[in-house]
Amino acid sequence: MNELRSKVLVIGGGPGGYVAAIRAGQLGLDTILVEADRLGGTCLTVGCIPSKALIHAAGAAHALREPQALNAIGLTVGRPELDFAKTIGWKDSIVARLTGGVGALLKKAKVRTLLGSAQIVDGKSAIVRADTGESRIETEHLVIASGSEPTPLPALPFGGAVLSSTDALALTEVPEALAVVGAGYIGMELGQAFAKLGARVTIVEALPRILPLYDQELTQPVARRLADLGVEALVGARAISFDKGLLRVTEADGKERAIPADKVLVAVGRRPRTAGFGLEALDLAMSGPFLRIDDKCATSMRNVWAIGDVTGEPMLAHRAMAQGAMVAEIIAGERRAFDHKAIPAICFTDPEIVAVGLSPEAAKAAHGEIRIGHFPFRANGRAMTLQDDEGFVRVVARADNHVVLGIHAVGAGVSELSAAFSLALEMGARLEDIALTIHAHPTMSEAFHESALAALGHPLHV
Ligand code: FAD
Ligand code: NAD
């Protein structure tokens, strides 16, 4: 067995782990990263990137299949044909480019990368089993970044026609009829994408509305688009079983219904990966199923750190990356804490949803009197030229001093506005700061400017 030593040992090469390792390497810390599968983790290989590639391809296919918008600008197109296996090949080529890039970045930062499964021995050592043999690593700091995996439903275990998000992203044919259980991030993003690719999609959600993690005003435009796409959303419903091409469901009124489906995507959440690699031996304090951490991502054991999905909600790649960079800096001796004002949340549905900071309800509960400013994209020139003026920007601020508490939007391509929203919150902006900033014309970001003016009582363009 190889005997290795490091200052930092990172278990998991997802966005949390690889960023922690790169930053540690940049800071001159002798670092080893262990990854059991592919560098890039869930995000790059079976999550954020492949799903967004599929969403893009689905949007392009849909624009050609339903060419009214193209016809309106004078374009006529012939009958489009989709080679879905090629679409998946294209998606895989992006994944390969990015995972290869992560390997190069780790090398550049002088991180030693071991491809193999790590088994924790104690808080200062682990054994790695790789194809090339076994290594025992002694370390000063252990960073656990083992991520998460899809949660199965007991009545619908993964396998055969019952798909996890990972399986759905590897299909080589578009299913004729797809049932989706769970109308959260994955169910909605992939459900809409498969509908645009030509599948007949039915969504089954246990709670009374789709995307229950966002407030209803934000999700209404998405619900309307679902209906336009011919997707049926059964809310307040539960899937009971799947057999012989029929998904049996109990609807909100208690009646049973059988939905024909050749595939069923189960997307009811993800669970932390905490079992099977010796973590139990450390007996770390837990927060429910997740590893408990403080504001420095320290666990209950000295010099054992945890970052990303294994530490709980929000299970987002950018949170994992921010935690990873911070932990490396703390290990290098910097004074840091995770005290961000906001972690942006984006749902890449059609239209997209962005939420940064507090919703109106949460702002009211925390601060009493608030001001809300809205600006609809139907009054925004750029949105009109892009042929999609559905949605709005909404800003929420304290009534007394106008400090902004939350910024939200729903509309085509609004994910790119999230940077401005997060910066405003992080800088402690007041409504006047946004109102007095010149926003370029013609852009969708003018709706952000106008929402602040609206909150101050003097919007210019409505
Ligand atoms: P992971 O990315 O899960 O990485 C953990 C890594 O650890 C894995 O590669 C695993 O193989 C490795 N590992 C585990 N145990 C061991 C061991 N014992 N030894 C060696 N290696 C080990 N988030 C967003 O912010 N935006 C999105 O648009 C988005 N879209 C998503 C779409 C889908 C379909 C899914 C499933 C997720 C999506 N997410 C998105 C969530 C995002 O992927 C996760 O939040 C993110 O990947 C978490 O990063 P992580 O580093 O904590 O864990
Ligand atoms: P989710 O928590 O977003 O949604 C799960 C949905 O399933 C919820 O609406 C829930 O009410 C519903 N549900 C639970 N049990 C059910 C049942 N028995 N029958 C019917 N519905 C049921 O989970 P997800 O969509 O699986 O995504 C997992 C995680 O991955 C998310 O929490 C998110 O952190 C991450 N993710 C993020 C993005 C993004 O940032 N754009 C995209 C995809 C995934």
**Digit-coded pLDDT (tens) for 253-300:** 999 999 999 999 999 999 999 999 999 999 999 999 999 999 999 999
Neighbour count for residue 275 (Cβ, 10 Å): 11
What share of the chain has pLDDT > 90, as a percent? 98
pLDDT exceeds 90 at position 398: yes
pLDDT tier for residue 18 given thresholds of 50, 70 and 90: very high
pLDDT, residue 37, reads: 97
193 lines ligand 1 (CB under 6 A): no
What residue's CA is closest to ligand 2, atom 14? 268
Indicate the burial class of 334 (C-beta count within 10 angstroms; 0-12, 13-18, 19 or more).
exposed
Average pLDDT over residues 427-445: 98
Show Cβ contacts of residue 446 under 8 Å, excluding neighbours closer than 6 positions.
380, 381, 382, 439, 440, 461
Distance CA 171, CA 181 (A): 17
**Ligand 2 pocket: which of 186, 222, 241, 354 to mutate (most atoms within 8 A of CB):** 186
Average pLDDT over residues 57-85: 95
149 lines ligand 1 (CB under 6 A): no
Distance CA 387, CA 351 (A): 12
What residue's CA is closest to ligand 1, atom 14? 146
Q: Is the peptide bond before 175 cis (omega within 30 degrees of 0)?
A: no
pLDDT exceeds 90 at position 174: yes
Closest ligand by atom to 353 CA = 2
pLDDT tier for residue 220 given thresholds of 50, 70 and 90: very high
How many angstroms does the Cα of residue 73 sit away from the middle of ligand 2?
37
User: Smallest Cα–Cα separation from 433: which of 455, 461, 417, 409?
Assistant: 455
Type of residue numbered 41: G
pLDDT exceeds 90 at position 251: yes
pTM above 0.95, yes or no: yes
Q: What does the block give as tokens for 390?
A: 């559905």
How many angstroms does the Cα of residue 183 sit away from the middle of ligand 2?
7
The residue written with tokens 């304090």 in the block is: 285
pLDDT tier for residue 1 given thresholds of 50, 70 and 90: confident
**Ligand 2 pocket: which of 185, 189, 215 to mutate (most atoms within 8 A of CB):** 185
Q: What is the pLDDT of residues 187-205, one digit of tens each?
A: 999 999 999 999 999 999 9
pLDDT tier for residue 132 given thresholds of 50, 70 and 90: confident
Closest ligand by atom to 320 CA = 1
Q: Measured over all CA atoms, what is the biggest interatomic distance in the chain, rounded to whole angstroms? A: 72
Distance CA 18, CA 41 (A): 9
Q: What does the block give as tokens for 382?
A: 């750029």
Average pLDDT over residues 78-92: 95
Phi and psi at 262, nearest 5°, equal: -90, -20
How many angstroms does the Cα of residue 39 sit away from the middle of ligand 1?
10
pLDDT, residue 131, reads: 81
